[in-house]
């Protein structure tokens, strides 16, 4: 007897997670791999392709029925990942790239929208019609449900709150603007804040010994748990 699964792909600025999901929402298998966003997008697509094909060869009763992709600046209407600030790909027709490799339907949405859909169908928001899911990673985003429907907006970018300006003369953002919320409230923004604080706290014996280019969200979280005052600020 064959088993129908969908392939879910969550593309992040730092890491990408892919997994095989059954019709009841059960995750049969998943893996996390580095995105390598400074490399061409085909590097990531080929690595996922190789791993998926290997899994399907080892599980011959499994049939791939469709692929859903969540990605920063993923546009549900066009199938394009449109110039994501934390990746160097420009505009990429990610749907077409996966359709070339797999004989099934492929759909794309913003990664935060995908998270909101997951919560609505299988998670904490199953009984809710109006809610917001905020995603915090390398960047910052949100998926918005209103009246039981996911809001995409006119151009497909409703919920892209990460690039909402909050400081008129704030930090430069990777999107090209300045003072964006994401440049403060994200893993990237928090690490930038810590680097600024280190200039003011030369006495910090823990963080001052670390290469500043290696300061990231995970390191800051560990320092916070250890009681480091700079990380707690």
DSSP state of 67: E
pTM: 0.84
Q: Are 73 and 92 in contact (CB under 8 A)?
A: no
Rounded to whole angstroms, the Cα distance separating 148 from 126 reads 10
Q: Which helix (H) or strand (E) holds 94?
A: helix 94-99
Burial of residue 198, with CB atoms counted within 10 A of its CB: 0-12 exposed, 13-18 middle, 19 or more buried: middle
Mean pLDDT of 205-213: 72
Mean pLDDT of 185-210: 79
Query: What is the third-level CATH fold of 3-122?
Result: Nucleotidyltransferase; domain 5 (3.30.420)
- What are the φ/ψ torsions at residue 133 (nearest 5 degrees)? -105, 125
Q: Where do the CATH 3.30.420.40 domains begin and end in the chain? A: 3-122
The share of the chain scoring above pLDDT 90, in percent, equals: 64
């Amino acid at each position: 007897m064959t088993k129908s699964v969908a392939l879910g792909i969550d593309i992040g600025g730092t890491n990408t997670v892919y997994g095989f999901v059954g019709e009841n929402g059960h995750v049969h298998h998943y893996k996390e791999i580095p995105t390598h966003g400074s490399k061409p997008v085909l590097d990531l697509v080929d690595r996922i392709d190789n791993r998926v094909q290997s899994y399907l060869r080892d599980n011959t009763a499994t049939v791939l029925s469709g692929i859903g992709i969540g990605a920063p600046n993923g546009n549900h209407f066009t199938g394009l990942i449109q110039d994501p600030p934390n990746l160097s790909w420009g505009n990429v027709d990610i749907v077409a790239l996966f359709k070339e490799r797999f004989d099934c339907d492929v759909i794309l949405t913003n990664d935060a929208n995908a998270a909101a859909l997951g919560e609505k169908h299988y998670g904490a928001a199953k009984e809710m019609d109006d809610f917001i899911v905020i995603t915090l990673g390398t960047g910052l985003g949100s998926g918005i449900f209103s009246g039981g429907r996911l809001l995409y907006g006119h151009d497909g970018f409703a919920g892209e709150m990460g690039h909402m300006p909050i400081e008129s003369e704030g930090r430069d953002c990777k999107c090209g603007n300045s003072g964006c919320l994401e440049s403060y409230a994200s893993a990237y923004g928090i690490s930038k804040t810590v680097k600024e604080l280190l200039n003011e706290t030369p006495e910090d014996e823990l963080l001052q010994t670390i290469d500043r280019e290696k300061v990231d969200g995970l390191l800051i979280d560990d320092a916070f748990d250890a009681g480091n005052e700079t990380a707690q600020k």
